[in-house]
Chain A
Amino acid sequence: MSINLEHISKSYGKIEALKDISFKVHPGELFGLIGPDGAGKTTLFRILTTLLIADEGKANVTGFDVVKDYKNIRKSVGYMPGKFSLYQDLTVEENLTFFATIFGTTIEENYELIKEIYVQIEPFKKRRAGKLSGGMKQKLALCCALIHKPKVLFLDEPTTGVDPVSRKEFWEMLKRLQQKGITILVSTPYMDEAALCDRIALIQGGEILEIDTPINIVKHYPKAIYNIGSKDMYELLQKLKGFENTYTMYPFGEFVHYTDKRDDFNPNELQQYLEENGLKEITIEKTKATIEDTFMELAK
């Protein structure tokens, strides 16, 4: 196993950040931790990268125990924290040289691994890291985390606050790193990114809600979901809230995802109810559950 956690718990005073977490990540796997701010993702990363000691439980990374063999883990993993943690006063090139030197290597030795990413920031190699744009900082941080050719890469919310185009490019980059044999544990609050992982753990409030492949997680959704559209979204939400058989109703883009309390739901009946309540241009169509639907159902 690349990563193995058994019954890990961690509290900060009265706050239980992680409650009895167990899972495994296989070598070469792209594994996603999907959950909102405050779910415990960063605490988990800090434990696995040996920066924080768990209150209970055991964890191994690349076969080494996170407490006893922390030095070996530090040599063989790369970590990109959620908060930009490079030296703002050093240039792009200096930061990269610094991290290479610390790990007893050189930029040239592992250039192949970072080349594709580094060429995008190379034109700015004399610029101080603090003066880079958000997207460039992210690329530099990834280069620094990769420069010693780690076996496992830990990425804590690398795409938070990043626009959809840059997010897409970042994930394409991760896929290519995975093909080079690097195991990747990545966290994100964006549910649409979950579909790009081999397996995901849905996490909230320090607990794992479910672990599986994205396809299976969606399959486990227990109800039939309907897309409901109308001209006035606000009125639609109000009226659905007032409908006695509504089980869940969540805005999803231009539609509301609706589930009914009953198993023998008849869309015509809902259509009639909405029409009687003055809504216009109503559409009701069956749709498929997404990971976000599943997450909300489990997190309720």
Chain B
Amino acid sequence: MMQENNVIQVKELTKKFGDFTAVDAITFDVKKGEIFGFLGANGAGKTTAMKMLIGISNPTSGEANVAGFNVFTNAEDVKKNIGYMSQKFALYDDLSVKENITFFGGIYGLSRKKIKEKSNALIKELGLEKIANHLVGSLPLGWKQKIAFSVALLHEPKIVFLDEPTGGVDPITRRQFWEMIYKASHEGTTIFVTTHYMDEAEYCDRVSIMVNGKIEALDTPKKLKEQFNAKSMNDVFLKLARG
């Protein structure tokens, strides 16, 4: 049974590719409205773990419940109840801002009326009136990522998964992006985020650090710094991530 406050509940989740254990019996919970930082070195198993949590890769063993559904038996329900964006894929470059919103709204089964409402509200909130009909491919990366985040929230998911959402984004836009994250979290949406910017790790309520497929540390940034006798999350990471 899932506890009411935990929107993600993971127990001994494991993924093997042949002899190689990419994710090795990880266990953790994420609470409603929490900003959860999911860190680790390249190749530590973050992407594999995330793929299982968003219902596109079957676990080898273990259990995971996301937004109230089992990722193994109810993967389709998981997908309907979460939002997702990554640095590599967020929006269609060949569609305009409006078309992207309409497209993703449709995918998530929103009514035409609802899509129109949401689309207008989103365009107004991000100040996109002048470029609503421009192709997304012509926009700066930072804008794209802000729009993509809003689009990932269109269907009001309980959780949104963000895979390195701010990589390469300029420092001002990066901070605006994080303000959007705070706002969503304040309104009760759970945020599950990976990043290589260690200052962003400090913005999270709790942070987990994966090393060679295992979660080696999990706590608030403050407690992790105490635990590892480190000045910053960067130092914590450097102390841990090479195993």
A interface residues with partner B (beta carbon < 8 Å)? 35-39, 133-135, 157, 160-168, 189-192, 204, 233-234, 237, 250-254, 292, 295-296, 299-300
Contact = CB atoms under 8 A, between A and B. Distances in A.
5 contacts: A133-B43, A160-B168, A161-B196, A191-B171, A234-B182
B108 interface: no
B123 interface: no
Given A134-B42, A161-B87, A253 B202 contact: yes
Interface string B152-176: 0000000000001001111111010
Contacts of A251: 175, 178-179, 199, 203
A46 to B, nearest CB: 18
A252 B203 CA distance: 8
A164 B238 contact: yes
Interface of B: 40-44, 87, 140-142, 164, 167-173, 175, 178-179, 182-183, 185-186, 196-199, 202-203, 221-222, 232-234, 237-238, 241-242
A291 B39 CA distance: 24
A165 B237 CA distance: 8
A165 B242 contact: yes
Given A160-B167, A253-B232, A295-B171, A38 B43 contact: no
A163 B42 contact: yes
Contact of B199 (A35, A39, A237, A253): A253
Contacts, number: 97
Contact of B168 (A36, A163, A254): A36
A141 B31 CA distance: 42
B199 A252 contact: yes
A252 B42 CA distance: 24
B221 to A, nearest CB: 6
B150 to A, nearest CB: 17
Contacts of A134: 42-43
B168 A189 contact: yes
A237 B41 CA distance: 30
B233 to A, nearest CB: 7
Majority-rule SS of A interface residues: mixed
Nearest to B170: A36
Nearest to B46: A163
A35 B237 CA distance: 24
Contacts of B242: 165
A251 B178 CA distance: 9
Contacts of A39: 170
A233 B35 CA distance: 12
B224 to A, nearest CB: 11
Nearest to A236: B182
A168 B140 CA distance: 28
A135 B242 CA distance: 13
A35 to B, nearest CB: 8
Nearest to B239: A165
A133 B203 contact: no
Contacts of B167: 160-161, 189
A143 to B, nearest CB: 18
A36 B169 contact: yes
Given A38-B140, A250-B175, A253-B203, A162 B42 contact: yes
A37 B202 contact: no
Nearest to B198: A164
Nearest to A35: B170
Given A163-B44, A299-B172, 18 more contacts: A36-B141, A36-B142, A36-B173, A37-B169, A39-B170, A161-B164, A163-B41, A163-B241, A164-B234, A165-B41, A168-B238, A189-B169, A189-B170, A191-B171, A233-B203, A234-B183, A250-B175, A253-B203
Nearest to A167: B196
Name which of A157, A166, A204 has the most chain B CB atoms within 10 A of its CB.
A166
A166 B238 CA distance: 9
